Amino acid sequence: MTKSDLDIFRDVAEFILDNREQTIVFLNKKGYARLNRNASLKEVNDAIANNLLNQTFVFDFARFMDGDGYSNWVQIVIAVATAITNVIVGAVDSTKRRLFGEQMAQKQGVYDRETEQWYKDQAELKAKKEASLMLSNLQSDIILKRELMEDKKEQRKTLYTMLMFMGGAVALAVLAIKLRKK
């Protein structure tokens, strides 16, 4: 059973959220980024997104995640590679359509190679930004869910405490009534 692309990105986002410092050390040590030890999640997400198109990085990062016992690295590599491919397919597809139109213009002598490279660079940049934004959004969802769970725990504790006090009050009232009757 394969996970959806969103589930894969959610796993990666949660891993980064839970292991930010170790991820920074990994990125710096392997030369994928130059981040400060206290880099923000956005900076870490951007560094990850900037390297997602690098197949070597995907394999290295999957092994790194597996080193924390997070998951089977082979499955991660395949899933992340698939997810990355699917995320950038939209950007690349729109670029291909644009390039096709411009290739038609090239036949008329209006198009040049610099423009083609510019569009390819823009598609890659857009894919990186989308991946970074997706990681940030998923991390925000994870944080909100964790905070909601903590709030529910606190509400339960408060409810149980109130029930205990009410039970104690009822027990004292019953005891007081019995003592009055004597």
pLDDT tens per residue, the chain (182 residues)? Answer: 356 767 777 888 889 999 999 999 999 999 999 999 999 999 999 999 888 878 888 888 888 887 755 555 556 556 666 666 666 666 667 777 777 776 666 665 555 667 777 888 888 888 888 888 888 899 999 999 999 999 999 999 999 999 999 999 999 988 888 888 87
Q: What are phi and psi of 160, to 5 degrees?
A: -65, -40
- How many residues belong to the chain? 182
Structure tokens, 123: 């598609």
Q: What is the pTM of this model?
A: 0.62
Other beta carbons within 10 Å of 65? 23
